[in-house]
């Protein structure tokens, strides 16, 4: 029973950054804009959150700042892919490089040439409630909120319409670029929260290897979840379980598995999901146009 509780709590903890980020990807791609720059936005959010939490001593300000860190890169993606109609995949890849580069550059600028931030004191991390960080509860609240917005509000229906039939939406008088921009900017903010929930909750500092593919796993989760908020969150829980299994198996003295093999488990599962479900899922009709 103790092992099951450990797996459950660790799954929730590691699924949280993925839920934030994948939900952001859902909002962007629902409006028709591919966002594979989630990795870079997470990285920038993780650094910004750590910086502000350290300087102010307030983890909530750090979390908010992390969201705006991701948003800053989303603005660039929106300008390139919506205003100038650039290739969305190329723009997203550039964002990934920029996010990593900017984070390390500013880290060295603010922290005497080091590429990682000093560790946060325990009281400066996101607080825990009932054994889980507050960001875990926030992630599930946002899941419900985004589901409600997309399915029950005029704003959500308009965002979906510009991702499915942008010409028809334009003919109906909707500002297509405006709703696409909302989707992209929101995705950046949520990806920044995802990075922040890593750097000031799960661990206590930012370092260059902190994200390590989490943004791409979030993309796999939204594909697995068929671009639907609730299903996407459940997919993130599945990937969170794979992370929890790595920690659980790695800490068992009776199980002798190479640490290198364990570390690749989440990425192997990601590839299996993409290979197995890519042809069986259908994204928004005008995705990438």
Distance between CA 210 and CA 46 in Å, rounded?
Answer: 8
pTM summary value: 0.92
Q: Is residue 289 part of a domain?
A: no
Tens digit of each residue's pLDDT, the chain (289 residues): 677 888 889 999 999 999 999 999 999 999 999 999 999 999 999 999 999 999 999 999 999 999 999 999 999 999 999 999 999 999 999 999 999 999 999 999 999 888 899 998 888 899 998 889 999 999 999 999 999 999 999 999 999 999 999 999 999 899 999 999 999 999 999 999 999 999 999 988 999 999 988 999 999 899 888 899 999 999 999 889 888 887 777 655 555 666 666 677 777 777 776 676 655 667 788 787 7
Q: Alpha carbon of 93 to those of 38, 79, 271: distances in Å?
A: 9, 15, 19
Q: Is residue 89 part of a domain?
A: yes
Q: What is the CATH number of the domain that holds 238?
A: 1.10.3470
Q: Range of 158's domain?
A: 2-280
Number of folded domains that form the chain: 1
The candidate with the shortest Cα–Cα distance to 162, out of 71, 30, 13, is: 30
Q: Is residue 185 part of a domain?
A: yes
Q: Is residue 287 part of a domain?
A: no
109 in Cβ contact with 39 (< 8 Å) = no
Q: Is residue 288 part of a domain?
A: no
Q: Alpha carbon of 119 to those of 125, 203, 206: distances in Å?
A: 10, 9, 8
Q: Is residue 285 part of a domain?
A: no
Identify the sign of the CA torsion 229, 231, 237, 240. negative
Q: Is residue 239 part of a domain?
A: yes
The candidate with the shortest Cα–Cα distance to 229, out of 26, 3, 8, 86, is: 26
């Amino acid at each position: 029973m103790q092992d099951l509780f450990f797996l459950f709590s660790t799954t929730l903890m590691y699924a949280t950054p993925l839920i934030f980020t994948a939900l952001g990807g859902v909002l962007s791609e629902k409006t028709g804009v591919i966002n594979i720059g989630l990795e870079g936005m997470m990285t920038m959010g993780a650094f910004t959150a750590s910086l502000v939490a350290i300087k102010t001593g307030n983890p909530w300000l750090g979390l908010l700042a992390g969201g705006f860190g991701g948003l800053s890169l989303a603005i660039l993606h929106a300008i390139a892919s919506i205003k100038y109609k650039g290739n969305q995949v190329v723009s997203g890849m550039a964002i990934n490089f920029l996010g990593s580069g900017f984070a390390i550059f500013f880290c060295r600028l603010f922290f005497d040439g080091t590429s990682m931030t000093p560790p946060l004191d325990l009281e400066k991390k996101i607080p825990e409630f009932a054994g889980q960080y507050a960001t875990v509860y926030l992630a599930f609240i946002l899941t419900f909120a985004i589901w409600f917005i997309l399915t029950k509000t005029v704003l959500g229906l308009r965002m979906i319409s510009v991702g499915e039939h942008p010409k028809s939406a334009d003919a109906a008088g909707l500002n297509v670029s405006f709703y696409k921009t909302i989707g992209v900017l929101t995705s950046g903010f949520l990806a920044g929260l995802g990075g922040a929930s890593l750097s000031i909750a799960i661990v206590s500092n930012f370092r260059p290897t902190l994200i390590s593919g989490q943004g791409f796993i979030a993309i796999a989760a939204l594909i697995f979840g068929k671009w639907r908020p609730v299903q996407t969150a459940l997919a993130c829980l599945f990937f969170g379980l794979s992370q929890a299994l790595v920690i659980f198996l790695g800490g068992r003295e009776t199980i002798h598995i190479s640490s290198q093999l364990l570390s690749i488990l989440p990425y192997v599962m990601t590839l299996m999901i993409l290979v197995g479900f890519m042809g069986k899922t259908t994204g928004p009709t005008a995705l990438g146009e």
